[in-house]
Amino acid sequence: MNGTNDPSPFHLFSKWGDNDSIYPKGYLRNLGDSPPLNFYRSWKPYLHSAGFYDFILGKESYYEFQKKLSSLAEEPFGVSLALACMVEVNVAGGILNASRYKEPGSHFLWNAFLGKDPILILAVGVSEPGFDGKLKKLQSGIDDNQLTGIKSFITNGGEADFIFWVTKKEEVYPLYFVSIPKESDHPNLIEKRIFYTEFTPQVSHLRIQFSGLPIPEENLLLANYGSLGLELRLKELCSLVSLLIGKTKPLSERDKGIKGERDRLVDWQEGFLRGLVGNPTTEPLLEAVPYPISPLISSVTKHFGLESGEDLKSNDPDWQLFLWEDSLTKYLVQKKKRTTTNQMDRKS
């Protein structure tokens, strides 16, 4: 995989990969006896050099960032790396952008996107057991500057240095940054488990629980995460469209039906995102819901001779990443209808 003739500067595996390894060339040799659990961390310097963090630093448009993700997702292992990158940029970066430290470089946490050593990874903890996607069901809280709570599914959490932890306090949802203990016998650590999923298996996730963990007041990033959550979820969906465009590129070169639907999705994305100036907010992102990926998924399903899109995950578990959108889209469509109705009521 020396890839010296690859025209795309965003095909990182072709340019810097080591044969069929998921790591950059020479990375494992430099690790020595350390366990190779740092897929995303190993690629962060290359992602920075290729400009994958330029958007969150205010150097390029959201559309340009999405095009980079699509290019990366064209490669083997590219969907996993693009997912890890887009979650950190969209969610952790989005939180920093909305915090009192919104200027890049104004807090050491921005080093995650500035290419500085040591490499820093930020992950976000929202989901909890019994959470069901509703912030009002969160149980995590801070009392007397001590955190007690559990987060059950933190993407990139297995490699992260800090968690952006969403808590609940009466009717608001303060968010703090929390350092992840390295030692397993930390007195306030009840549980810490790194795990992986069948889809994008190179991306690590974390389940972690604390009881009475001291949290300084200055670790507060957001007084209320609540209104920001929807915007960040919509950005994740936007990026899933980009990953789908990338993943279907090789298939589109062999199947005219897939090519036609993929081209239409590319045109839609360009028309939608090119018009968004700066950092997109909830209103324009919600306006485009549901994002039109279904025709392309149907063409891929037909290509493999399968009965439904749900069957695609038996062909390649990574397809499951794009099937999740259905249940979330139903909620977002209802949200959009309510927003539109409220706007019409105000006008009348």
pLDDT in tens, 235-272: 999 999 999 999 999 999 999 999 999 999 999 999 99
Structural domains counted in the chain? 3
Q: Using CA atoms, how far apart are residues 161 and 43, in angstroms rounded to an integer?
A: 16
Identify whether residues 204 and 239 lie together within a single domain.
Answer: no
Q: Is residue 328 part of a domain?
A: yes
> Which of 71, 92, 113 is where one domain is finished?
92
In degrees, rounded to 5, the angle at the alpha carbon of residue 312 between the alpha carbons of residues 306 and 313 is 145
Identify whether residues 64 and 169 lie together within a single domain.
Answer: no
Identify whether residues 239 and 202 lie together within a single domain.
Answer: no
**pLDDT, position 347:** 59
**pLDDT, position 2:** 43
Q: Is residue 104 part of a domain?
A: no
Q: Is residue 208 part of a domain?
A: yes
Identify whether residues 241 and 291 lie together within a single domain.
Answer: yes
> Which of 222, 256, 277 is where one domain is finished?
222
pLDDT tens for the 348 residues of the chain, in order: 444 466 799 999 999 998 878 999 988 877 665 555 799 999 999 999 999 999 999 999 999 999 999 999 999 999 999 999 999 999 999 999 999 999 999 999 999 999 999 999 999 999 999 998 899 999 999 999 999 999 999 999 999 999 999 999 999 999 999 999 999 899 999 999 999 999 999 999 999 999 999 999 999 999 999 999 999 999 999 999 999 999 999 999 999 999 999 999 999 999 999 989 889 999 999 999 999 999 999 999 999 999 999 999 999 999 999 986 555 667 777 777 776 666 655 655
The pTM score is: 0.93
**pLDDT, position 81:** 99
Q: Is residue 3 part of a domain?
A: no
Q: Using CA atoms, how far apart are residues 55 and 74, in angstroms rounded to an integer?
A: 20
> Which of 198, 222, 246 is where one domain is finished?
222
Question: The CATH number of the domain where 133 resides is what?
Answer: 2.40.110.10
Instruction: Report cis status (omega within 30 of 0) of the bond before 290.
Output: yes
Q: At what angle do helices 256-273 and 294-303 cross, to 10 degrees?
A: 160
Q: Which region holds residue 189: left if phi is over 0, alpha if psi is between -120 and 50, else beta?
A: beta
Identify whether residues 297 and 193 lie together within a single domain.
Answer: no
Distances 219 to 20, 145, 162, 222 between C-alpha atoms, Å: 41, 10, 11, 9
Q: Using CA atoms, how far apart are residues 234 and 231, in angstroms rounded to an integer?
A: 5
Q: Using CA atoms, how far apart are residues 303 and 136, in angstroms rounded to an integer?
A: 43
Identify whether residues 216 and 253 lie together within a single domain.
Answer: no
Q: Is residue 348 part of a domain?
A: no
The sign of the dihedral angle between the CA atoms of 44, 154, 123, 326 is: positive
Identify whether residues 133 and 214 lie together within a single domain.
Answer: yes
Q: Is residue 310 part of a domain?
A: yes
In the chain, what percentage of residues exceed pLDDT 90? 83
Identify whether residues 217 and 163 lie together within a single domain.
Answer: yes
Residue 323, SS3 per DSSP: helix
Q: Is residue 306 part of a domain?
A: yes
User: Which residue, 206, 181, 186, is CA-closest to 196?
Assistant: 206
Q: Using CA atoms, how far apart are residues 285 and 272, in angstroms rounded to an integer?
A: 9
Q: Which domain holds residue 73?
A: 12-92
Scanning the chain, the segments in alpha helix (DSSP H) are 12-16, 27-31, 39-49, 62-73, 78-87, 94-98, 111-114, 226-247, 249-252, 256-273, 282-287, 294-303, 312-315, 320-323, 325-347
For residue 182, give the amino acid letter.
Answer: K
Identify whether residues 215 and 240 lie together within a single domain.
Answer: no
Identify whether residues 332 and 250 lie together within a single domain.
Answer: yes
Q: Is residue 6 part of a domain?
A: no
Identify whether residues 213 and 310 lie together within a single domain.
Answer: no
